[in-house]
Amino acid sequence: MATETVLIVGSTGHIGTSAAQGALKAGLSVLAIVRNARSAEKLFRNLGSKERITTVEADVTSPTGVQCVVDQVKAGRLPAFQHVYSCVGGPYDAESLYDLDDNKFLENMTFTFYPNFYAYRATIPYLLAQNHPNSTWTICTGGQGDIGARPGAGMAQGALYSMSTSAARQNKETNIRFNEVYLFMRVEVDAEAEAHGVQKASHFANVYETLLSRNDVRSARVLVTREEDLDVLRFEYKDQKLLEVGTRLLGAFD
Ligand SMILES: NC(=O)c1ccc[n+]([C@@H]2O[C@H](COP(=O)([O-])OP(=O)(O)OC[C@H]3O[C@@H](n4cnc5c(N)ncnc54)[C@H](OP(=O)(O)O)[C@@H]3O)[C@@H](O)[C@H]2O)c1
């Protein structure tokens, strides 16, 4: 059987590197979207290898960037993929809410929310058409949307939570296991993590490696908020809150 491939959007960052490590450990190949050759080198350096990794340059902040990659895949110029991991992230400034001018607000949406949304919009139709029985689509969101200490970054995460809820709902009965990984701790590529005393990307990689093999986990929020969550998958179904409200009310919101 051909090796499955994960397309990673945001592949060269801390979380993207971790996703690549998880995918490689699970036996998958990686198709990594990179901003440029320098970012690709950073990824290879942090992974310590180029084996089973194909890179392609694209501007993931453009509405058509990921779509161009999908078009190249469809044309057979890049490997087909069955899985997507999306983790593009931008500014992390701490100015107060009323100091967020239009440009700063837009930067948060442009570099954090939009690229993950564009990635979803470009890849889901492709995965549905392929109809691979074991497709997955995973996004990493951060706890900042709940803490609110960095309002710009937090609001972008809030939008991603909502996007994930819709995606979880809409893919519940499809061939795609959509899941949101909610990360509430600092993860960095190993060398930086060691220097800063935070969690290592290679350790967080356990979460994605496990998620890929857990066919029962779909339309869920995977919770990574304490150290033990790095080793044992903890999750809740995204519609749990709605079910608590009651099925009678659920119908009213459809
Ligand atoms: N790291 C954590 O501890 C943590 C915790 C919770 C949630 N998260 C969430 O996970 C996501 C990724 O975080 P991260 O720590 O991996 O961030 P990161 O290390 O800064 O990586 C971000 C990724 O986005 C790309 N990117 C950023 N701005 C770009 C631009 N203008 N054009 C093209 N590409 C751009 C980067 O490309 P380059 O490499 O080329 O710059 C990189 O691939 C974010 O949404 C973040 O909120 C992270």
Mean pLDDT along residues 68-93 = 97
Residue 248 has a pLDDT of: 54
Instruction: Please report, for the chain, how many H helices and E strands are present, in that order.
Output: 11, 10
Distance CA 85, CA 119 (A): 9
Q: Whose CA is nearest to atom 7 of ligand 1?
A: 142
Q: Is the pLDDT of residue 250 over 80?
A: no
Long-range contacts of 42-45 (CB under 8 A, 24+ apart): 42/12, 43/11, 43/12, 43/16, 43/17
Distance CA 223, CA 236 (A): 8
Binding-site residues, ligand 1, Cβ < 6 A: 10-16, 35, 39, 60-61, 87-90, 111-112, 140, 142, 183, 186-187
Q: Is the pLDDT of residue 95 over 90?
A: no
Tokens (6 digits) for 25: 């450990």
Q: Whose CA is nearest to atom 48 of ligand 1?
A: 142
Distance CA 111, CA 156 (A): 9
Mean pLDDT along residues 117-130 = 98
Mean pLDDT along residues 32-61 = 98
Residue 88 CA, ligand 1 centroid: distance in Å: 5
Q: Whose CA is nearest to atom 13 of ligand 1?
A: 89
Residue 157 CA, ligand 1 centroid: distance in Å: 12
For the segment 180-219, what is each residue's pLDDT rounded down to a tens digit? 999 999 999 999 999 999 999 999 999 999 999 999 999 9
Residue 40 CA, ligand 1 centroid: distance in Å: 14
Contact residues for 250 (Cβ-Cβ < 8 A; gap 6+): 242, 243
Residue 111 CA, ligand 1 centroid: distance in Å: 8
Tokens (6 digits) for 104: 């700063």
Residue from 77, 91, 9, 4 nearest 43 by CA:
9
Domains annotated for the chain, with CATH where assigned, are: 5-253 (3.40.50.720)
Residue from 217, 6, 21, 14 nearest 119 by CA:
6
Going from the C-alpha of 220 to that of each of 73, 203, 223, the distances in angstroms are 28, 21, 9
For the segment 101-119, what is each residue's pLDDT rounded down to a tens digit? 999 999 999 999 999 999 9
Residue 11 CA, ligand 1 centroid: distance in Å: 8
pTM for this predicted structure: 0.96
- Residues composing the chain: 254
DSSP assignment letter at 239: T
Distance CA 227, CA 224 (A): 8
Q: Whose CA is nearest to atom 24 of ligand 1?
A: 88
Contact residues for 114 (Cβ-Cβ < 8 A; gap 6+): 61, 63
